[in-house]
Chain A
Amino acid sequence: MSSPDLRAELCGISLANPLVNGSGTLDALAAGTLGLGAFVTKTVTLHPREGNPPVRIAETPAGMVNSIGLANPGLDAFCADHLPRLGDLGVPVVASVGGWSPSEYATAVARIGAHPAVAAIELNVSCPNVESGCISIGTDAGETRALVERCRAETDVPVLAKLSPSVSDVAAIATAAAEGGAHGLVLINTVRGIAIDRDRLEPLLGGGGGLSGPAIKPVALHAIFHARAATGLPIIGMGGVASAQDCIEFLAAGATLVGIGTSLFADPGLPERALPELGGLMRRHGVEAIGDLTGIAHPQVSSSTRA
C-alpha cells in the first residue's frame, strides 16, 4: 500500500494536511504555523478591542474556561499590518470575523475577503465572551441565515459559519447557515461555562466564559455529527482534539478538516507529532486518502432516531 495521502481540500482550498488551529488559539506571526495545513486568525472586529481585564483563564478538569473578550487590533490595523505578513506564512489563511451588527460583519467581510492573502472567511457568530448583540446571532436560526446571506454577497471567497454548541438544536442553526449560503461550517466554539474560585467561592471570570479542552470532545462530536447529517456541508471540526486518534474520530463524525485549539497551549508540538500517527491510523483503517474518512461514522447510526 502506498503511503497515506494527508492532503486535504475544503471548499476548493488545497491543504498539505487536514489540521488547522481553532480561531484565537495560535498567533502564527509570533509562533509560526506549527506544521498545520492552514491558519485561522483570531477573530477581527471593525474596531480595536483591548479584551477583558484579567482574570481571563481558569483551569478546569480536562480543560479550561476562558474569557478573553475578542482582543484584536481592529479591521484597519489587521488589513494594514497583519494580513500582508499572514500571506507569507505559506499556508492558506482563514480570516475569522466578528461584529455587533450585520453591517459591521459585511464591512469587514468585504475588505478582508478582497485581500489576496485570504483563502476563506469564518463568521464568528458564537463567541460566548462578549455582551449580546450580533455576536450572539448564532443562537437564532433566522438571524444566522440572514447574516450568512448578506456576507456571502460581499465576497467571492468561501464563507464558513462558526457555530456554538450552547443552543437547543445545533442542527437547526447549521441548516439555517446552509440556507443562507454558507460554503462550510466550523464546529464547535467553546461551551458556556463558569469556574468558581475554590477559596473565595466567587466566579473566577465574572459571569463566565467558554469551556474548551478534552472535556468538550463528546459535545463537539455530537454537534459535528448532526450538523453534517443535516446539511452535508464541509465542516472544520474542533473541540477537545488532543491526539491523532481524536482527529480520525472527528473526521469520521463528519469533519473535512480538524481544528486543534486548547491542546496547542499545553502541547505546541502536537500537530507535527500527530501527522505521522494519522498516516499510521489511516493504514490501519485501510484508507488511502484523508478525505475518505469524512463522515464514515454515519452509515452505522441513524441520526434521525438517535439524536
Chain B
Amino acid sequence: MPPPTRSLEVAGVEAVGAYTLLRLRDAGADHGAPGQFFMLRAEPAPADAYLPRAVSAAWAGDGEIAFLLDVRGPGTRALAAARTVSVLGPLGHGFDLAPGPSILVGGGIGAAVLPWLRRQLAPLGEVRTVLGFRSDAQAVCAGLVDPGATVVLDPVLVTEPLARLLPAEATVYACGPDRMLEAVAALCAEHDVPCQLAMEAAMACGFGACYGCAVRIDGTWKRLCIEGPVVEAARVLA
C-alpha cells in the first residue's frame, strides 16, 4: 500500500546557483532514508503538468524536508512557485549504509541526493566526495553536499578524480546521468569496490502501477520504483 498523500506547506524556496532549493514543513512524518524518493506535485495541480515529479530528498529533519530541484519544465516550475505541495512517499529502496569509509560521486542534479547521505555516513567512517557539473552555476550546490568536495567541470569527467581515489577500502555511492553511472560502475567493478547507484527514470506513479520507469536491471527491464531507485551496480552491469 503506498503511504497516504500529504499536503505540505512550503517553508522556503531559494536559488542555489542554477538549482532551486524547496523546503517543506513536515513535522513528525516518516522521511525514510537517503536515496528513497517522493512524488511531488504543486497544489492545486497545474493544468500543464498532470503527473507528479519523482524527487529524492536533499535532507530531512527538524520538522522539514528539503528538495533540490532542476527547474526545467512546467512541473518543476509549478513546484518552485507553490505554497503547498502534494507529497507521496517515502517510496522505493534507498542507500544501504555500509560501515567504513565512503566515496560519494555526484553528477549535475544527481548531487541533490548526497547531502543527507553524507550526514548519515559521516559517523560510520571517512567520507570523500567528488562532484561533476556542466557549469559554475550548477557547481554552487557542491557546498550543500560537502564543503571539501573535489569538483570538476565539463569537459572533465567525474571519473577522473574518482580514479585517483581507487582502489580503496570504501563503498562508492553515486547519483547522476546514466552515462556517468555506467562509467562509475565500470570503474568500481575494475577495482572490486562495492558501488551503489541512485538511478533516474521517468515515472508516472512511483509505486509500481504504471510500468513507465523501465531500467535494465539483472539483464531485463525492471520497474525502477520497485527495484530502486538505489541499485547495486553489479545488477545494472549484469
Residues of chain A whose beta carbon lies under 8 Å from any beta carbon of chain B: 24-27, 30-32, 34, 42, 50-64, 66, 68, 71, 213-214, 262, 264-269
Taking the complex as formed, is B97 at the interface, i.e. its CB lies under 8 A from any CB of chain A? Answer: no
A56 pairs with B214, CB closer than 8 A: yes
Interfacial residues of chain B within 204-225, with CB under 8 A of chain A in the complex: 204-205, 207-215, 220-221
Taking the complex as formed, is B201 at the interface, i.e. its CB lies under 8 A from any CB of chain A? Answer: yes
Q: Chain B residue with minimal CB distance to A50?
A: B221
Which of these, A34, A51, A55, A214, contacts B221 with CB under 8 Å? Answer: A51
Taking the complex as formed, is B135 at the interface, i.e. its CB lies under 8 A from any CB of chain A? Answer: no
27 contacts between A and B (CB under 8 A): A31-B1, A31-B209, A34-B1, A51-B214, A51-B221, A53-B214, A54-B201, A54-B202, A54-B213, A54-B215, A56-B202, A59-B49, A61-B50, A64-B50, A66-B204, A68-B211, A71-B211, A71-B221, A213-B50, A214-B50, A262-B50, A264-B205, A265-B205, A265-B209, A268-B2, A268-B5, A268-B205
Question: Could you say which residues of chain B place their CB within 8 Å of the CB of A30?
Answer: 207-209, 226
Q: Chain B residue with minimal CB distance to A61?
A: B48
Once A57-B212, A71-B211 are accepted as A-B contacts, the answer to whether A267 and B5 lie under 8 Å apart by CB is yes
B43 CB to closest chain A CB (Å) equals 11
Q: Chain A residue with minimal CB distance to B75?
A: A59
Interface contact tally, CB-CB below 8 A: 96
Which of these, B204, B205, B211, contacts A51 with CB under 8 Å? Answer: B211
> Scoring B residues 39 to 52 as 1 if CB is less than 8 Å from chain A, else 0, what string do you get?
00100010111111
B72 CB to closest chain A CB (Å) equals 10
Residues of chain B whose beta carbon lies under 8 Å from any beta carbon of chain A: 1-2, 4-5, 41, 45, 47-52, 75, 88, 201-205, 207-215, 220-221, 226
Question: Could you say which residues of chain A place their CB within 8 Å of the CB of B4?
Answer: 269
A interface: dominant SS = loop
Which of these, A31, A52, A64, contacts B207 with CB under 8 Å? Answer: A31
Question: Could you say which residues of chain A place their CB within 8 Å of the CB of B50?
Answer: 59-64, 213-214, 262, 266
B214 pairs with A265, CB closer than 8 A: no
If A50-B221, A265-B205, A269-B5 are given as contacts, then 9 extra A-B residue pairs at C-beta distance below 8 Å, sorted by A number, are A25-B209, A26-B209, A55-B202, A57-B202, A61-B48, A266-B52, A266-B205, A268-B2, A268-B5
A101 CB to closest chain B CB (Å) equals 24
Q: How far is the CA of A30 from the CA of B213 in the complex (A)?
A: 15
Once A59-B51, A64-B51 are accepted as A-B contacts, the answer to whether A27 and B209 lie under 8 Å apart by CB is yes
Question: Could you say which residues of chain B place their CB within 8 Å of the CB of A25?
Answer: 209-210
Q: How far is the CA of A268 from the CA of B3 in the complex (A)?
A: 9
A224 CB to closest chain B CB (Å) equals 22
B interface: dominant SS = loop
Q: How far is the CA of A30 from the CA of B48 in the complex (A)?
A: 29
B221 pairs with A66, CB closer than 8 A: no
Question: Could you say which residues of chain A place their CB within 8 Å of the CB of B211?
Answer: 24, 42, 51, 56, 68, 71
Q: Chain A residue with minimal CB distance to B211?
A: A68
Q: How far is the CA of A150 from the CA of B208 in the complex (A)?
A: 33
A88 CB to closest chain B CB (Å) equals 14
A202 CB to closest chain B CB (Å) equals 16
The 3 closest A-B pairs by CB, nearest first: A57-B212, A265-B205, A30-B208
Question: Could you say which residues of chain A place their CB within 8 Å of the CB of B209?
Answer: 25-27, 30-31, 264-265, 268
Which of these, B48, B212, B215, contacts A66 with CB under 8 Å? Answer: B212
Q: Chain B residue with minimal CB distance to A273?
A: B5
Question: Could you say which residues of chain A place their CB within 8 Å of the CB of B5?
Answer: 267-269
Question: Could you say which residues of chain A place their CB within 8 Å of the CB of B214?
Answer: 51-54, 56, 71
B1 pairs with A57, CB closer than 8 A: no
Once A56-B214, A59-B51, A61-B48 are accepted as A-B contacts, the answer to whether A32 and B1 lie under 8 Å apart by CB is yes
Q: How far is the CA of A32 from the CA of B1 in the complex (A)?
A: 5
Q: How far is the CA of A25 from the CA of B201 in the complex (A)?
A: 18
Once A61-B48, A265-B51 are accepted as A-B contacts, the answer to whether A27 and B208 lie under 8 Å apart by CB is yes
Which of B47, B48, B207, B220 gathers the greatest number of chain A CB atoms within 10 Å? B207
Q: How far is the CA of A37 from the CA of B213 in the complex (A)?
A: 27
Which of these, B1, B204, B226, contacts A64 with CB under 8 Å? Answer: B204
Question: Could you say which residues of chain A place their CB within 8 Å of the CB of B88?
Answer: 268
Q: How far is the CA of A59 from the CA of B212 in the complex (A)?
A: 11
